[in-house]
Chains A and B, each alone.
Chain A
Amino acid sequence: NAGVTQTPKFQVLKTGQSMTLQCAQDMNHNSMYWYRQDPGMGLRLIYYSASEGTTDKGEVPNGYNVSRLNKREFSLRLESAAPSQTSVYFCASRERRTGADTQYFGPGTRLTVL
């Protein structure tokens, strides 16, 4: 049981390049999330998907797009990377029912934009 997996683990981009961060979970969870973590700050929600086929903006969605490809997979796309997007990105998932409120996190992707 792998839980939440993310690829890649590390990535370096030049300003203006695009890339997609991949996330998959094998726990049959309904909800999935993308967070970013910057030095001295807690995690901030970028986008989330409450169920397959739906996505919603979080706190800091500008510069990002997401796709909920199926129940397992939730990708985050940077269309034109900027140095301000240098961060560690975490994907998480949660079973969406009352009482199941724990989010399980992937190992993170460290992204550097030059």
Chain B
Amino acid sequence: AQTVTQSQPEMSVQEAETVTLSCTYDTSESDYYLFWYKQPPSRQMILVIRQEAYKQQNATENRFSVNFQKAAKSFSLKISDSQLGDAAMYFCANRMGLVLGNEKLTFGTGTRLTIIP
């Protein structure tokens, strides 16, 4: 069974600083996808960034980047130049790979990020 672990229930960062959120996962698959979702107080789940396991290059989306360590099964999210609007719950998620029919997205328990003005 797949598992996703987020060991930091809460994090805080000063506005304009950089913060890294941790995520580890366990899967027996060689092909899979990893995601970070953001959930602000509105509860909407918003995709932040995704990473295909077969790609060695770390994904980046503007101020958001990941450090994907496949051998260590680690997938951390770095937020640079933190902004007040980044305050939210962040979920790491994993989906098995390229076989159609692997529908299940497995989520971690989330990290609540607070931005200090």
The answer to whether residues A33 and B43 also contact, given A42-B4, A101-B50, A102-B50 and a CB cut-off of 8 A, is no
Q: Distance (Å) between the CB of A88 and the closest chain B CB?
A: 6
The answer to whether residues A42 and B44 also contact, given A31-B103, A48-B103 and a CB cut-off of 8 A, is no
Interface size on B, residues (CB 8 A): 26
Size range of the chain A interface in the assembly: 20 to 34
Asked if residues B35 and A42 are in contact (CB atoms below 8 Å), the reply is no
Asked if A53 is an interface residue, CB under 8 A from chain B, the answer is: no
A107 contacts which of B43, B50, B95 (Cβ < 8 Å)? B43
Q: Distance (Å) between the CB of A15 and the closest chain B CB?
A: 24
Asked if residues A58 and B100 are in contact (CB atoms below 8 Å), the reply is no
Bound complex: CA of A50 vs CA of B110, how far in Å? 26
Of chain A, the residue at the smallest CB distance from B110 is A42
The 9 closest A-B pairs by CB, nearest first: A42-B107, A105-B45, A108-B43, A101-B33, A43-B107, A48-B103, A42-B109, A107-B44, A98-B98
Known contacts A48-B103, A50-B100, A90-B45; 5 additional CB pairs below 8 A are: A42-B107, A44-B107, A45-B105, A102-B35, A105-B37
